[in-house]
């Protein structure tokens, strides 16, 4: 019984940190991550890396990419499985298909970034034109992640009424697409409402951080004499790289955890407005 409660708590924690569109706020507004980090520690870590430890940059890139892939795989897991995966054995193949497709998307993204890198060096060498390489890579990566999270979220929201009636994922998608083809404007309106609520939720979270979370952390830190924010360390070895990336990932997950109550509130509103009714789902189920 005790172990079951621990498993349920961990499962709920995983859902709170990775489900729905959680994580998108950091890529739209990086400040939602930096509020959880010490500014001086972040500056020391970045300056030491870029000044004396440039040879660690490839390791930083691949370590961050590994953490990124881990988060996206967890997001796929929470999207496909509504509970323990052993309860839904028929969805395991869909999960692995999504994981493979994720790696395919990442591979194509890396290829595009490599082409952009080569093009920028070519233009710089022959024509003396310096393309904004770092800014371009960062903007492309942010756009890719935002679109990918929105794709998983919107798709999950549309097929949710069918999944709740124990449809398989492929059958849910098939019936959902058939409904969308017959109700084009309702589809567009509900999708627009979803995107609007995502933006409203993120803006509300920014206000909550500035007005409530940050002042509370400052007051509590003053009372106990210890900063309640995550400290990064200067880069001096491979161990410090792994430590800093892990702490960045922890700050990212912490940001997601505090964002989840706002997401949950918006989800309740969206499900109440869902245009696909239970009657339509039951009708589709009777046609099986």
The per-residue pLDDT for range 79-108, each reduced to its tens digit, is 888 877 788 888 888 899 999 999 998 888
The confidence band for 282, taking pLDDT boundaries of 50, 70 and 90, is low
The predicted-structure confidence for 213-222, as pLDDT tens digits, reads as follows: 988 988 888 8
Under 8 Å between Cβ of 262 and 270: no
Which among 10, 33, 165, 154 has a CA at the least distance from the CA of 83?
10
What is residue 76's predicted lDDT score, i.e. its pLDDT? 93
CA 18 to chain centre: 7
**Which residue's entry shows tokens 């017959």?**
182
The confidence band for 53, taking pLDDT boundaries of 50, 70 and 90, is confident
CA distance 210 to 186: 36
CA 269 to chain centre: 21
| pTM of the shown model | 0.87
DSSP letter at 37 equals: B
Per-residue pLDDT averaged across 223-230, rounded?
A: 83
Tokens of 90: 């028929």
Tell me the backbone φ, ψ of residue 22, rounded to 5 degrees. Answer: -65, 140
Per-residue pLDDT averaged across 258-277, rounded?
A: 91
The confidence band for 245, taking pLDDT boundaries of 50, 70 and 90, is very high
Radius of gyration of the chain, Cα coordinates, nearest whole angstrom? 22
The predicted-structure confidence for 179-208, as pLDDT tens digits, reads as follows: 999 989 999 999 999 999 999 999 999 999
CA distance 210 to 218: 11
User: How many Cα atoms occupy the beta-carbon half-sphere of 42 within 13 Å?
Assistant: 12
CA distance 232 to 247: 7
The confidence band for 288, taking pLDDT boundaries of 50, 70 and 90, is low
What is residue 283's predicted lDDT score, i.e. its pLDDT? 56
Average pLDDT, the chain: 87
pLDDT exceeding 90 applies to what percent of the chain?
39
Burial (CB < 10 A; 0-12, 13-18, 19+), residue 241, is buried
Under 8 Å between Cβ of 81 and 118: no
Under 8 Å between Cβ of 264 and 147: no
Angle of CA points 190, 194, 195, to nearest 5°:
120
What is residue 69's predicted lDDT score, i.e. its pLDDT? 93
The predicted-structure confidence for 119-137, as pLDDT tens digits, reads as follows: 887 877 777 777 777 787 8
The confidence band for 257, taking pLDDT boundaries of 50, 70 and 90, is very high
CA distance 148 to 133: 22
| 272, pLDDT greater than 80 | yes
**Which residue's entry shows tokens 């082409």?**
115
Per-residue pLDDT averaged across 151-164, rounded?
A: 90
Helices (DSSP H) in the chain: which residue ranges? Answer: 2-18, 24-28, 31-34, 39-51, 57-80, 92-127, 133-164, 169-182, 184-208, 214-224, 238-272, 278-286
């Amino acid at each position: 019984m005790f172990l079951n409660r621990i498993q349920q708590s961990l499962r709920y924690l995983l859902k709170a940190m990775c489900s729905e569109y959680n994580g998108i706020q950091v890529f739209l507004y990086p400040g939602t991550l930096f509020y959880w980090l010490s500014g001086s520690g972040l500056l020391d870590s970045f300056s030491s890396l870029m000044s004396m430890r440039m040879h660690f940059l490839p390791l930083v890139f691949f370590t961050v990419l590994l953490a990124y892939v881990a988060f996206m795989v967890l997001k796929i897991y929470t999207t496909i499985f509504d509970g323990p995966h052993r309860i839904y054995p028929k969805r395991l193949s869909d999960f692995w298909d999504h994981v493979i497709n994720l790696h395919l998307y990442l591979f194509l993204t890396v290829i595009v970034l490599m082409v952009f890198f080569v093009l920028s060096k070519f233009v710089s060498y022959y024509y003396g034109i310096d393309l904004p390489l770092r800014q371009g890579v960062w903007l492309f990566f942010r756009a890719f992640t935002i679109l990918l999270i929105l794709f998983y979220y919107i798709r999950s929201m549309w097929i949710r009424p069918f999944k709740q009636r124990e449809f398989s994922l492929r059958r849910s998608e098939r019936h959902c697409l058939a409904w969308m083809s017959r109700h084009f404007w309702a589809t567009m309106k509900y999708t627009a409402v979803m995107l609007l609520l995502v933006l409203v939720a993120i803006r509300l979270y920014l206000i909550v951080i500035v007005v409530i979370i940050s002042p509370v952390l400052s007051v509590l830190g003053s009372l106990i004499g210890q900063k309640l924010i995550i400290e990064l360390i200067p880069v001096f070895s491979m161990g410090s790289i792994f430590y800093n990336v892990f702490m960045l990932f922890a700050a990212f997950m912490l940001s997601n955890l505090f964002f989840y109550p706002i997401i949950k509130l918006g989800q309740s509103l969206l499900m109440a407005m869902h245009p696909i009714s239970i009657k339509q789902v039951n009708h589709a189920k009777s046609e099986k």
